[in-house]
Amino acid sequence: MVVKFPSSSEDNAGDGSSRDGAEEQERLAPVTPLRRAAPARRRDGDDHPSRGGGARPVAELPGGAGWNNTWGTESRAPVAPPVAAEDDEQDDEAIRQARKTNGLAIRQLARRGMSRWELEQVLNKREIDPEVYGPELDRLETLGVIDDASLATTLAFTQHSRKGLGRTAIQQDLARRHIDPELIEAALADIGEDDELDRATELAVKRIGQLSTYDDETARRRLHGFLARKGYSSSVIRQAMDAAFAGRRSRGGSGVRFQ
């Protein structure tokens, strides 16, 4: 591009004679051309924006640094599925199992006295998980519905007074129910030695009346086995048998068996 600047002679417009002979002077001013920025080369795999795919172009900042338009991207982190429904189902199942455990335990205890261990065996047979019935049995134990100490005391009294069992037989029965040994000892402490001897003697006198047709030796052997099965100690058995045979002789028993 060429720019013309008028000479000093052209500034004097009123001098017509000098215009014809004046030599036209031209001056060339350097002009820097404006170049259009070349379009950024598209990398392989980039989609054109008009096609609706791919990430948006990264703007170039001065100095070659790039600016990532994070907020403009459409990608988002995956959202975890809701788990509230699953938790609710688990809670409902736990509630149902707890109610089932409570109902079974109450019905069993209403039938007869049972220790905690015996209840656990029943619940295991019903295929109830220990993690489910454990807390429920703990709750019933806290409320006093399950009470091994009271059960041991009650069983010791009834078995001694009604069934005529001695301390050894009672101890074995309570141990079979898996009652704590300390609770068993406390329950047996209520049965004194005199009480045990009186009960054994009462049983021996009643039993020897049924052995009247036997001689003394046979009657003694049978009576000893009977009292031993009741759980009395050897010392108690000996004293009870002496009292029973003394009564038999006083009634005029011959001690001879007739065939």
- Residue 8, in any domain of the structure: no
Residues 153 and 198 occupy one common structural domain: no
- Residue 122, in any domain of the structure: yes
Residues 102 and 138 occupy one common structural domain: yes
Q: Which residue is associated with the tokens 């004097």?
A: 12
Cβ neighbours of residue 219 under 8 Å, at least 6 residues apart?
Answer: 208, 211, 245, 248, 255
Q: Please return the burial class of 49, using the count of CB atoms within 10 Å of its CB with bins 0-12, 13-18 and 19+.
A: exposed
Residues 152 and 116 occupy one common structural domain: no
| Dist. CA 239–CA 201, nearest whole Å | 8
List the structure tokens of 193. Answer: 């030695």
- Residue 34, in any domain of the structure: no
Residue-level pLDDT, tens digit, the chain, 259 residues:
444 545 544 444 445 444 444 444 445 555 555 555 555 555 555 554 445 445 555 445 455 555 455 444 444 555 555 555 566 677 787 788 888 888 888 998 888 889 999 999 999 998 888 988 899 999 999 999 999 999 999 999 999 999 999 999 999 999 999 999 999 999 999 898 999 999 999 999 999 999 989 999 999 999 999 999 999 999 999 999 999 999 887 766 544 443 3
- Residue 31, in any domain of the structure: no
Residues 163 and 101 occupy one common structural domain: no
Residues 197 and 258 occupy one common structural domain: yes
Strand partners, 59: 67
Domain containing 163 equals 148-191
Residues 206 and 254 occupy one common structural domain: yes
Q: Which residue is associated with the tokens 């054109």?
A: 48
- CATH code, domain with 221: 1.10.10
Asked if 215 and 256 touch (Cβ cutoff 8 Å), the reply is yes
Q: Count up the domains in the chain and report the number.
A: 3
